[in-house]
Structure formats: structure tokens, C-alpha cells
């Protein structure tokens, strides 16, 4: 998997070089100080969350910072782990470690001693061998320059804080030098430390092979990662050339993760890193990686995608349930008609069903999702994986299985919480999505047919009969809505329909209807023909099927057939 990704990354790296990484590099919070060869401070760059303006010397600092980073905190030059840079041209330390006394002259002395002769630090023979190869290639580090830098640091590092922002971020000092010098000094540190552990290294005539450090840990505490059936039990080994490329690839990913670009699409010579708010514009086939920022870049999901197309064809949102938008600006009001791309649909689903919490919480720990509505949070957690696979991979297998139930639970929840406009919008959106995902007869046609049939029956002089389960449950919803509308409370309490929505059998459903009737019959005229016909037909119909909450809710949300006028200006039935 990684090998295939590296092939595409190598094409891009061969074309752009180190700028592929440094142009997207994000400086961490801290004070960046540039010192010239005379010991004069040339510039101070302050970077924080509010000020990350990438102008001026930002990219110069970014390049020097990238080349001066430790491979990991487990592989420091300073064995006390107080100084976090990797070469004599730079000096990284937390400001608080200056003020609290953790940074001492002895630690500074040992840091530069290790840089003057890394053999002192590298007790491991393989690391020492790898360093010596770099020393043969580039020569020893200049001792005079190291001593000069050490003297400057000792003289200035404890007083320089007075010129900087007072916070707990880093202080990073850089010597103004040719960037090629930074590259040489960086490589002298990186190469001996690039493998997970040199005890796994295997040398050949042409190269060194070892276990990569990225997304892999192998030690005595993790014996289950060993491949016990092989002579060499290490999971996999890569050459020095490949492991350096792999490090650069993970550095590139890390830069993008720092800017919340965690969805990675990789094809031939092409890598696109996108945030959850973004989607690809063109069709795509290739590798997909979902990454996360930890101590390093962590790959949490990997997949192979074929024929991903974020353009939608045939998804229409209709006003199946009429909504009066004259007094209320709904979330769906401007989006009826054809939905042409997944980005718009993703936004609508997050806003209308999940209170805008879906987009940023596909992988959040449940305790970190600050949603006050338990029912919405519960459904978000249960369905977010299926939505993610649909929105970012084009995989609809799971969402087809769960969307019907998930969306209906959320509609019921909206009704019980008195969010009637929201419930109607959720229903309209639900119908459009189900028509697109599942197909079959359109809900708009079904409901219009039911409404037309029942309208005729409740206006007959003689009581007619219900002819199907769909018609029955739609009628139950209509009667429930009518009865609750008779409440004399200043606020119509739609949560009273909750017992009906929770019924699993027709017997219990009829019992709940009778309870509603007893509660509100004081305001229903005996000669109300429409209500009488509705009631008689519902009570006279028997069904053995499981309660169809889909049709019941549709009938409840649909405009009342009892209240509607036959022609404009006519008094409504029962008034």
C-alpha cells in the first residue's frame, strides 16, 4: 500500500524537490529568531494561532525549521531532551525550560559536544557506521562554527526572552547560512536515526535495509508485530533510499494534516489532500488514505477507490410535505430541485439531520462531540462511518442499509422536540435521498395518491373503507395531527404523538388513538363528517403488519385533509 503511494509521491518530488514539502510547511507556535554570522539578530518572527501570516521570511524559516527537526523525541541529540533541534545551525527549546532552569550550561555544552563528534553519542555500531558514511560524503562539521554558535547561545539564550512574546511556546534560533549547509547537517542526523531500530538492519553490497519509523513500532513490548514464520521476523524492510523517500512522504502528509487536510487521494503522479469540507472536482481512481495528527501522522483508514464521481445525477428534492417559508427561513428552502454534487448534499445532511455536527465529527471520540440532543448524537455515532464512506469514497453499500431507519428516527425526534419545520424538511430530504439510493416508486407519487384517495373518501356522504396498509397508516397520521391540533394550550405539544410513534402493533396504535380522542373530543363537533369518516375507516381496518412509521409520520406531517377547503372561501369542516 505505502509502496504504491510512494511511487506517485516520487514523481511529484522529482519534479518539485524539497519545495513540495516546505511550500506546504506549517510553522508551529513560537518565536523564530534569525541570527547572522556576526551574532546580530536579523529578524524575529512570532507565530501563533491568530498570526500565521505566510509572508516575508516565513518560508525561509519553514525550510530551516523542517531541516532542523528531530525524527522523533526518542532520538534527540540532547540526551536530556531539553534541546529539540538536530544540528549546530539551529537551537530549539521550550521557553518555559529557560525560565524554570531546566536548560543549563551543562546541557548546552553536551548538545554541542555531541554535534562536534556524533560518535560520542552513537554507541550503536550500525548508527555509527551510517553516520561515518555521511561524514565521508560531506566532511566533518566545522568545529569553529560550532564553538561560535555555542558561545552565542550561552551568552544570549537566557536574556533573549525579554524581546519575545511571553508564552509557553518554543524559542527557535537559526544561524543565517546557505540552505545547502542546513541540508548537509540535517542529513548527518536524519540518516543514522531514520530507521525504527538499527538492530533490525540488514546490509547488502548495494544498500542498507531496515524497518521504517513511520506508522510502525517494533520492540520487546510489541512482539505480536513480529512475523514468526520467517527467518527474519521483521514485518518488512526497505532500503535506505526508500526509507528517506518514505520519511519525506510522511512529512508532506503531516504538513497537510496540520491544516486539517486529512483525506488523501493518490493516483499516478497525483496527490490531493482535502479537508472534510472539500471534495474532488474530477473523477478519481486510486488510493485513499484517512490520516490523523498524533505524535506523527497516523493512517487510520486505507482503501482503493475505483470510479469515484462527486457529481450526482438524478437526485431531486421535492416539496412532498408543503412548508410555509414566508415566516421561517428553512435550511432546505433554497435547495429544492436537483442536487448536482456531493458537497451540497453533504452540507444539507449535516445541517438538517445532525445540527451541523457531522462534517467535523466523523472520527471524533464520542465524549468530545458536544451535542446536547442525545438522540441526534446517538444516530450520528451509529451512521457517521457510512456517511463518510459515501461522501469521500463513493461507497453507498452501508448507507443504503441504514439511511431509512436513521433518518426516520431523527424525524421522530424532531417532531417530539417541537421542531416541525425541521421535521418536514428532514422528511422531504429523506424522500429524495431514498429515491436516489434505493429507487422504486417515488414517495411524492405515493403520498399524492394516498391523499387524493382519502380526500375523496372522507368527503363522501357514506362511510367508505381503507384498502391498503399504506392508506391506513397515512390516515392514522392524519387523525393524530388533527386531534393534537385541538389542544387549547398556547403551544401545540407535538411530543404527545410519541406514544403512537413507539407502537409496534396495530392493537396498541388504536388504543393510543382512543386515548387522544378522549382527551380532545370536547372540541370536535359531532357532525364533523370528515373526522367521522376518517375515524370509522381507521377503526374498521385490521392489519397484521408491523406498524409502518414511515407512512404514519408522512400522514402526520402532510397538510391536513380534514381542514382543507373544497374551494377557496368555503368554511373548513368542523369549524
SS (H, E, C) 169-189: CEEEEEECCCHHHHHHHHHHH
Q: What is the C-alpha end-to-end distance of the chain, expressed in Å? A: 71
Torsion angle in degrees (nearest 10) through CA of 243, 248, 249, 255: 150
Task: For residues 198 and 346, give the distance between their C-alpha atoms in angstroms, rounded to a whole number.
Answer: 47
Crossing angle for the helix pair 240-257 and 179-193, nearest 10 degrees?
A: 110
Residue showing cell 519575545: 164
177 contacts 89 by C-beta, under 8 angstroms: yes
Rg for the chain, CA atoms, rounded: 34
- pLDDT for position 497: 80
Contacts of residue 130, Cβ cutoff 8 Å, sequence gap at least 6: 191, 192, 198, 208
For residue 287, the SS3 value is strand
The secondary structure of the chain in percent helix, strand, coil, rounded to multiples of 5, reads 45, 15, 40
**Residue 533: how many other CB atoms lie within 10 Å:** 22
CATH 1.10.3470 corresponds to the domain 443-557? no
Contacts of residue 225, Cβ cutoff 8 Å, sequence gap at least 6: 216, 217, 218, 235
For residue 239, the SS3 value is strand
Q: Which of 390, 522, 537, 344 is nearest to 454 (CA)?
A: 537
Bridge partners of 292? 298
Residue intervals of the chain classified under CATH 1.20.58 are 443-557
Bridge partners of 289? 264, 302
Here the cell at position 407 is 433518518
Residue showing cell 426516520: 408
Here the cell at position 9 is 509521491
Q: Based on DSSP, count helices (H) and strands (E) in the chain, helices before strands.
A: 19, 13
- pLDDT for position 514: 87
Q: Which of 386, 541, 566 is nearest to 463 (CA)?
A: 541
Contacts of residue 439, Cβ cutoff 8 Å, sequence gap at least 6: none
For residue 319, the SS3 value is coil
Crossing angle for the helix pair 125-138 and 179-193, nearest 10 degrees?
A: 160
The count of C-alpha atoms lying within 13 angstroms of the C-alpha of 62, restricted to the half-sphere facing its C-beta, is 22
H or E element, residue 215: none
Strand 297-308 relative to strand 263-267: parallel, antiparallel, unpaired? unpaired
Task: For residues 530 and 538, give the distance between their C-alpha atoms in angstroms, rounded to a whole number.
Answer: 12
Task: For residues 479 and 487, give the distance between their C-alpha atoms in angstroms, rounded to a whole number.
Answer: 14
Task: For residues 93 and 353, give the distance between their C-alpha atoms in angstroms, rounded to a whole number.
Answer: 47
Here the cell at position 552 is 404514519
pLDDT in tens, the chain (575 residues): 788 899 999 999 999 999 999 988 989 999 999 999 999 999 999 998 776 667 778 889 999 999 999 998 989 999 999 999 999 999 999 999 999 999 999 999 999 999 999 988 888 888 888 888 899 999 999 999 999 999 999 999 999 998 898 888 999 999 999 999 999 999 999 998 888 776 666 776 667 777 777 654 444 444 434 444 444 445 557 788 888 899 999 999 999 999 999 999 999 888 999 999 999 999 999 999 999 988 788 899 999 999 999 999 999 999 999 998 888 888 999 999 999 999 999 999 999 999 999 999 999 999 999 999 999 999 999 999 999 999 999 999 999 999 999 999 999 999 988 899 999 999 999 999 999 999 988 999 999 999 999 999 998 888 889 999 999 999 999 998 888 888 766 555 666 788 888 888 889 998 988 888 888 777 777 767 888 888 899 988 988 788 899 999 999 999 999 888 765 334 344 43
- pLDDT for position 484: 86
Amino acid at each position: 500500500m505505502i509502496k504504491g503511494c510512494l511511487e506517485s509521491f516520487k514523481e511529484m518530488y522529482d519534479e518539485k524537490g524539497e519545495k513540495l514539502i516546505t511550500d506546504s510547511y506549517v510553522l508551529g507556535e513560537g518565536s523564530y529568531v534569525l541570527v547572522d554570522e556576526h551574532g546580530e539578530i536579523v529578524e524575529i518572527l512570532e507565530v501563533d494561532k491568530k498570526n500565521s501570516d505566510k509572508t516575508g521570511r516565513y518560508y525561509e524559516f519553514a525550510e530551516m525549521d523542517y531541516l532542523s527537526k528531530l525524527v522523533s523525541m526518542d532520538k534527540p541529540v540532547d540526551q536530556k531532551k531539553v534541546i529539540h533541534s538536530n544540528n549546530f545551525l539551529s537551537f530549539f527549546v521550550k521557553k518555559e525550560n529557560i525560565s524554570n532552569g531546566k536548560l543549563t550550561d551543562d546541557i548546552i555544552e553536551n548538545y554541542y559536544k555531541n554535534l562536534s563528534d556524533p560518535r560520542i553519542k552513537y554507541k550503536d555500531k550500525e548508527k555509527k557506521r551510517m553516520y561515518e558514511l555521511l561524514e565521508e560524503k560531506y566532511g566533518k562539521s566545522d568545529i569553529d562554527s560550532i564553538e561560535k554558535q555555542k558561545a552565542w547561545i550561552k551568552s544570549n539564550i537566557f536574556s533573549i526572552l525579554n524581546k519575545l512574546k511571553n508564552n509557553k511556546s518554543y524559542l527557535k534560533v537559526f544561524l543565517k547560512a546557505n540552505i545547502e549547509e542546513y541540508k548537509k547537517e540535517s542529513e548527518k542526523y536524519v540518516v543514522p536515526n531514520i530507521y525504527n531500530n538499527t538492530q533490525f538492519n540488514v546490509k547488502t553490497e548495494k544498500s542498507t535495509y531496515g524497518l521504517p519509523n513511520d506508522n510502525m513500532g517494533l520492540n520487546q513490548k510489541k512482539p505480536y508485530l513480529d512475523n514468526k514464520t520467517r527467518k527474519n521476523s521483521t514485518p518488512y524492510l526497505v532500503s535506505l533510499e526508500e526509507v528517506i523517500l518514505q520519511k519525506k512522504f510522511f512529512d508532506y502528509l503531516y504538513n497537510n494534516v496540520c491544516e486539517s487536510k486529512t483525506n488523501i487521494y493518490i493516483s499516478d503522479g497525483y496527490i490531493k489532500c482535502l479537508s472534510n469540507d472539500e471534495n474532488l472536482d474530477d473523477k478519481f481512481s486510486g488510493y485513499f488514505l484517512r490520516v490523523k495528527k498524533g505524535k506523527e501522522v497516523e493512517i487510520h483508514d486505507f482503501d482503493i477507490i475505483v470510479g469515484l464521481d462527486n457529481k450526482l445525477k438524478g437526485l431531486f428534492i421535492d416539496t412532498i410535505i408543503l412548508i410555509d417559508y414566508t415566516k421561517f427561513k428553512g435550511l432546505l428552502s433554497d435547495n429544492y430541485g436537483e442536487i448536482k454534487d456531493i458537497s451540497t448534499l453533504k452540507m444539507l445532511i449535516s445541517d438538517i439531520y445532525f445540527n451541523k455536527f457531522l462534517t467535523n465529527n466523523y472520527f471524533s471520540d464520542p465524549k468530545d462531540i458536544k451535542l446536547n440532543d442525545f438522540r441526534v448524537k446517538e444516530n450520528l455515532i451509529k451512521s457517521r462511518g457510512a456517511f463518510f464512506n459515501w461522501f469521500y469514497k463513493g461507497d453507498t453499500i452501508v448507507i443504503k442499509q441504514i439511511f431509512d431507519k436513521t433518518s426516520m428516527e431523527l424525524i421522530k425526534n424532531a417532531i417530539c422536540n417541537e421542531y416541525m419545520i425541521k421535521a418536514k424538511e428532514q422528511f422531504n430530504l429523506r424522500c429524495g435521498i431514498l429515491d436516489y439510493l434505493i429507487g422504486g416508486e417515488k414517495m411524492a407519487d405515493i403520498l399524492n395518491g394516498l391523499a387524493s384517495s382519502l380526500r375523496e373518501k372522507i368527503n363522501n356522504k357514506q362511510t367508505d373503507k381503507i384498502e391498503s396498509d399504506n392508506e391506513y397508516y397515512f390516515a392514522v397520521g392524519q387523525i393524530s395531527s388533527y386531534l393534537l391540533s385541538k389542544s387549547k394550550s398556547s403551544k401545540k405539544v407535538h411530543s404527545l404523538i410519541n406514544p403512537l410513534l413507539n407502537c409496534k402493533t396495530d392493537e396498541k396504535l388504536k388504543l393510543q388513538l382512543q386515548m387522544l380522542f378522549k382527551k380532545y373530543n370536547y372540541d370536535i363537533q359531532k357532525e364533523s363528517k370528515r373526522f367521522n369518516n376518517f375515524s370509522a375507516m381507521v377503526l374498521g381496518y385490521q392489519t397484521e403488519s408491523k406498524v409502518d412509521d414511515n407512512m404514519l409520520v408522512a400522514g402526520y406531517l402532510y397538510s391536513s385533509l380534514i381542514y382543507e377547503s373544497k374551494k377557496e372561501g368555503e368554511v373548513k369542516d368542523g369549524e
